[in-house]
Amino acid sequence: MKRENQKTSHRDVMRSVAIFVSNLSFEGDFKKQPVYLQEMFELLLDTEFGNDLVLRQKMLSCLKTSRDLVKVLSQFTDKQIQKACDNVTMVKAI
């Protein structure tokens, strides 16, 4: 992350987001990530470490973010997502 008061352009932000989303597709099926997270969190909740309200709130926030990302991207095919990311990341080069 950049320091405060440094100028960033909309293109820089969009390029970073596109790179992030593009990298997701190389990490396996990101559409299953919420299910994987839920499984891990359920196992963790059964332990002594899982008996922590702050940790539970963080887990729920993480799960919600993952579900929201999948919901937003689910209307597109993997090929469409990759093509859009490629187009955005190429803008910087122009």
> How far is CA 21 from each of CA 14, 48, 80, 85, 94, rounded to the nearest angstrom?
10, 34, 12, 7, 21
Task: Give exposure, 25-35, as e/b (b: 16+ Cβ within 10 Å).
Answer: eeeeebeebbe
Element housing 1 (H / E): none
pTM greater than the 0.75 cutoff:
no
pLDDT of residue 14: 80
Model confidence at 9, in pLDDT bands (50, 70, 90)? confident
Over residues 28-65, the pLDDT tens digits come to 677 888 898 899 998 988 888 888 889 889 989 999 99
Phi and psi, residue 61, nearest 5° = -65, -45
Residue reference for tokens 């989303």? 21
**Residue 72: pLDDT over 80:** yes
pLDDT of residue 4: 63
